[in-house]
Amino acid sequence: MNEVIIDRLNHQGKGICLVDGKVVFVDNALPSERVSICIDKVNRKFCLASVSRYIVKSDSRVVPECPYYGLCGGCDIMHMSYGYQHDFKFNKVLDIVRKFVKDDIVVNDIIYGDQFGYRNKTTFHVKEKIGFYKEKTYDLIGVNNCLISSLEINGILSILSKMDLSNIDSVVIRSSYDNKKVMVILNIVAKINESMFIERLKDDVSSIYVNDKGYRLIFGEEFIIDKIGDLRFVISPGSFFQVNTSMAFQLYSIVKNYVGSACKLLDLYCGTGTIGLFLADVCKEVIGVELNSSAIHDANVNRKLNNIDNVRFICGDSGRVLRELNYKPDVIVVDPPRSGLDGLAINEVIGLRPSKIVYVSCDPVTLARDLNILKEFYSIREISLVDMFPNTHHVEC
């Protein structure tokens, strides 16, 4: 048992202190707090620890409203006041940019929305009960309510928690922010009583899918529809859609402001086309590129759904498509996965020399890595932050 004072936070929101000259990362601890800690794991360069007793607490500490906090592996900074969460995320991005990019880049204040009830998609695991895995384990924590998920998702969770879920590995529940419709996807490992699920859920859901090496609709509509701004988007069982619909509008509005008035625009890693279609009214033409063929299918459905005729989509790897595509864009928007831009893609983007690049990132570290390459060819204007994932250490840039 060691008594320590927490010095600062790492980028995942864990407290940092020194014990016998060795760095220790402490769960659920805030700067300036005096705590007694237990060392849980010793590595060569650092230790992991948990708090056994709080001696002096930070004024920024709050009692988490979720009864499962600290057990399930979802939220990880709910012990911070919401205002302090924003300060943490802002300072994290600022620290990463200054440390790894080393340019005097403006980082704008974070834009935030609802702290709870914001998720329109949640995956629940099943092992005799339904819930979430404990962080970094396969130990299942049974839950009957998730504070960051929508009311509609929690309503279906309440029904499922009372049902026989034998032969089900996990359940994905998706809801529409706009019309409150719900889709349930049952990921199965063996045959289930499908009629039982239809009977129990039919009054509360729009769609039920069974997934066993492929999605199969067993009840209701093929997809649900949600809106971002004035545009409608289909949500299929496997399609990507921003999990925080209201903050997606804020994010896309920032992107539109940065794009300005573009004659020709390339939208790389376009997914189901949400960003490119959102920008269509300020562009003469848009080409979206995405590797996932089912996402491209949904992108074309979304294009027709919104009667947009100046956008087209190409299925393929972004870097390879750019190498073969004879197209000179004025602006390129990229929204890559957490791993950031691959080498081929970033080289092709630079080779096209657009007047402007707008980079949407869910990981500030890979963003900083890519900015280090791009800054040799471009001036970096600024970074804006959107709190897409309250109560977690993640932040969208």
The tokens describing 127, both together, are 């092992």
Q: Of 47, 146, 315, 362, which one is the catalytic site residue?
A: 362
How many residues are given for the chain?
Answer: 397
Rounded CA separation 145/320 (Å): 44
Picking from 117, 149, 116, the residue whose alpha carbon sits closest to that of residue 131 is: 149
Residue 124 pairs in a beta bridge with 171
Picking from 247, 254, 270, 253, the residue whose alpha carbon sits closest to that of residue 337 is: 270
Rounded CA separation 129/162 (Å): 9
The tokens describing 231, both together, are 């545009």
Is the separation of the CB atoms in 236 and 222 below 8 Å? yes
The continuous run of DSSP H or E covering 36 comes out as: strand 34-42
The Cβ-side half-sphere exposure at 13, using a 13 Å CA radius, reads 22
The tokens describing 149, both together, are 């998920």
- Active-site annotation holds for 72: no
Picking from 195, 11, 208, 215, the residue whose alpha carbon sits closest to that of residue 97 is: 11
Rounded CA separation 267/289 (Å): 6
Catalytic residues, by residue number, are 362
